[in-house]
Amino acid sequence: MEIAAIPDLDPEINEVRAATANIVNHYIIPNEENLGYDNPERPRLAHEVQDAVKKAGLWAPHLPKEYGGMGIGFMKHAFMNEVLAWSPYSNPLFGVVAPDSGNQTILIKYGTEEQKERWLKPLIDGEIRSCFSMTEPDAPGSSPYAIQTRAVRDGDEWVINGRKWFTSGAKGAAFAIVMCRTEEEDGSGGVRDKMTQIIVPTDTPGFNIVRSVPVWGRESNHCEIVYDNVRVPVTNQLGRTGTGHQAAQDRLGAGRVFHCMNSVGQMWRAFDLMVRRSIEREVHGGKLETKQFIQGFIADSYIDIQAARLMTIRTAEVIDRGGDPRTDISAIKIFVPAAMERVIDRAIQVHGAMGVSGDTPLAGMYTGARTLRIADGPDEVHRIVIAKNVFKRYHAGGSWDFGV
Ligand SMILES: Cc1cc2nc3c(=O)[nH]c(=O)nc-3n(C[C@H](O)[C@H](O)[C@H](O)COP(=O)(O)OP(=O)(O)OC[C@H]3O[C@@H](n4cnc5c(N)ncnc54)[C@H](O)[C@@H]3O)c2cc1C
């Protein structure tokens, strides 16, 4: 990839982007063929790349310095991600492994000193892995207050019963952060303390992984789990009772900017592959680049990428200056994965059969893009948020100002 310094941008951000591109170009892209998880070469190669990342001071952009991360702040991290994501293998090589990275962020914000010592430290040091268990087969994930898994206090313990699924990374994890219903009547006809997140070590009796749910027709580590009278000390709860929903918002909210910048990086790569293939491939007496259908693909993809990128950067700027980003966050959550799906779809088409093969990263990127339209809150839910915010402004006598 070729990236020049962006004019008028903080020089430190440009430095981070250049250093990241250097690692991606020299260590990751040339080795992509051998970085697949089933490749015997992967452990050695991954180790080498991770060493180079650490030496370049680019390890764990999501973590503060005191926790061994880059401590680079919001904008630098956002701009770093579009460069890093040029390769689908990059994130773990830069110390960002989902869902551990989200759990680390939540433990830093809500964890007690004891919880940090026992769970966060070994998680950051790579000694253990973790998972986040919120979605349920029998309740709509798009309505977070609908969950049925319940935790009931019994003396100094929480007793948890319920069924979750799509708990990513559950097999091999040392603990799960479990979203539980903990509501109690408040004495005046209402309820309080609706949702609480609780740390459950996976070796606790009653934590039963029932199956891995196949995703896109393939084996996965997205698991269905039955919590059957799981008992953990009350000291395992994260934050105050009733703060679970807020913690889930904290996990996603601004993090969606990072995810979208990741998507922009992937689209950028797909675009690059598509253009190069169009220049090289000869069909029906001419290069693909000379065919108007293909020129249309390139032009529409350029527009999709530029629009997605600018919308995401605008959202990052709103967050950075302390504005209210909720409408913009929902807008990018809808627009960017859909734009990514369109761009990758066109790139696959231009590559013909090769596009759906494992010989380019496109096939994996495509299923990832489609999945993103469901995970992190389905599109429809975000559309409702946008419309609600707009109508609220008008009902209060104002109008929408796109400039601020
Ligand atoms: C690969 C993958 C990994 C995941 N990893 C995790 C994980 O680690 N931990 C975890 O807890 N969860 C995880 N999830 C689950 C994910 O967060 C949920 O799938 C998501 O929140 C949607 O919930 P749901 O599947 O229950 O869909 P539902 O809530 O049943 O929604 C189904 C569909 O209904 C429509 N819809 C919903 N609300 C409305 C509305 N108001 N108006 C109109 N239409 C509407 C939407 O089209 C939506 O897609 C993962 C999912 C996937 C695919």
Smallest CA-to-CA distance from 256 within 323, 178, 334, 144 is with 334
**pLDDT confidence of residue 113:** 97
Cβ–ligand 1 contact at 197 (below 6 Å): no
Q: Based on the fold, state whether residues 215 and 320 are members of the same structural domain.
A: no
Query: Per the domain annotation, does 162 fall within a domain?
Result: yes
Kindly report the CATH number assigned to the domain that includes residue 24.
1.10.540.10
Residues 141, 259 within the same domain: no
pLDDT score for 253 = 80
**Same-domain status, 236 and 260:** no
Q: Region 111-120: what's the mean pLDDT?
A: 97
When computed from its CA atoms, the radius of gyration of the chain, rounded to whole angstroms, is 22
Band (pLDDT 50/70/90 cuts) for residue 308 is very high
Q: What is the mean pLDDT of residues 306-327?
A: 95
* Boundary (domain end) residue, out of 197, 213, 242: 242
CATH of the domain at 368: 1.20.140.10
252 alpha carbon – ligand 1 mean position (Å): 14
Rounded CA-CA distance 364/216 in Å is: 10
Q: Are residues 191 and 273 in the same domain?
A: no
Q: What's the pLDDT at 247? A: 87
**Is 350 among the domain residues?**
yes
98 CA: nearest ligand 1 atom: 8
Alpha carbon distance 272, 263 (integer Å): 14
196 neighbors 214 (Cβ within 8 angstroms) = no
pLDDT at 189 over 80: no
User: How many A from CA of 140 to the centre of ligand 1?
Assistant: 7
What is the number of domains present in the chain?
Answer: 3
Q: Residue 314's pLDDT band (boundaries 50, 70, 90)?
A: very high
User: Distance, CA 355 to ligand 1 centroid (Å)?
Assistant: 28
Residue 39: pLDDT over 90: yes
Is 114 part of any domain?
no
Answer yes or no: is the C-beta of 251 below 6 A from any ligand 1 atom: no
Residue 193 has pLDDT above 80, yes or no: no
**Residue with CA nearest ligand 1 atom 22:** 141
Q: Which element (helix H / strand E) includes 259?
A: helix 255-280
- How far is the centre of ligand 1, averaged over its atoms, from the C-alpha of 146 (Å)? 12
**Is pLDDT at 190 greater than 80 in this prediction?**
no
Are residues 288 and 372 located together in one domain of the fold?
Answer: yes
At 183 the pLDDT is 85
Per-residue pLDDT, averaged over 8-20, amounts to 95
Mean pLDDT across 26-38: 93
For residues 6-35, average pLDDT:
95
Same domain, 135 and 217: yes
Question: Kindly report the CA angle at 147 between 141 and 148, in degrees rounded to 5?
Answer: 145
220 touches ligand 1 (CB under 6 Å): no
Residue 394 alpha carbon to ligand 1 centre in Å: 30
> pLDDT grade, residue 365 (50/70/90)?
very high
Residue 125 lies in a domain: no
- pLDDT, one tens digit per residue, over 199-214 is 999 999 999 999 999 9
pLDDT (tens digit per residue) in 216-273: 999 999 999 999 999 999 999 999 999 998 888 887 887 899 999 999 999 999 999 9
**Within this chain, do residues 230 and 254 fall inside the same structural domain, yes or no?**
no
Asked if residue 86 lies in contact with residue 24, where contact means CB atoms within 8 angstroms, the answer is yes
Across the range 334-348, mean pLDDT stands at 98
Helices (H), 95-156: 100-110, 113-115, 121-124
pLDDT of residue 127: 94
Mutate-to-test residue for ligand 1 from 133, 166, 168, 198, highest number of ligand atoms within 8 A of CB: 166
Residue 181 Cα to ligand 1 midpoint, Å, equals: 18
Q: How far is the CA of 359 from the centre of ligand 1 (A)?
A: 31
Residue 137 CA, closest ligand 1 atom number? 26
Answer yes or no: is the C-beta of 108 below 6 A from any ligand 1 atom. Answer: no
Helix or strand or coil: residue 12? helix
* pLDDT value of position 185: 76
pLDDT band per the 50, 70, 90 thresholds, residue 375: confident
Residue 212 Cα to ligand 1 midpoint, Å, equals 17
Q: What spatial distance separates the first Cα and last Cα of the chain, rounded to whole Å?
A: 33
- Is 287 a residue whose pLDDT tops 80? yes
Q: Does residue 380 fall inside a structural domain?
A: yes
192 belongs to a structural domain? yes
Whole-number average pLDDT of the chain: 94
Whether 371 lines ligand 1, by a CB cut-off of 6 Å, is yes
- Out of 242, 272, 294, a domain closes at 242
Domain span holding position 61: 11-96
Distance CA 158, CA 199 (A): 10
Give the ligand 1 atom nearest the CA of 133: 11
In a domain, 109, yes or no: no
Q: Are residues 298 and 380 in the same domain?
A: yes
Q: Please indicate, yes or no, whether residues 135 and 88 belong to a single structural domain of this protein.
A: no
Residue 370 pLDDT? 95
Which atom of ligand 1 approaches the CA of 140 most closely?
Answer: 29
Of 242, 261, 276, the residue at which a domain comes to its end is 242
Asked whether 99 lines ligand 1 (CB < 6 A), one says yes
**Separation of CA 3 and ligand 1 centre (Å):** 36
> Which CATH number fits the domain that encloses residue 167?
2.40.110.10
Distance 376 CA to ligand 1 centre (A): 7
- My answer on whether 202 and 83 are in the same domain is no
Q: Are residues 253 and 389 in the same domain?
A: yes
pTM of the model: 0.93
Mean pLDDT of 106-134: 96
Under the banding of pLDDT at 50, 70 and 90, the label for residue 143 is confident
Confidence (pLDDT) at 187 = 76
Are 292 and 173 within one domain? no
Q: Tell me whether residue 214 is in a domain.
A: yes
Indicate which residue's Cα is closest to atom 37 of ligand 1.
142
Furthest CA-CA distance within the chain = 80
- pLDDT for position 106: 93
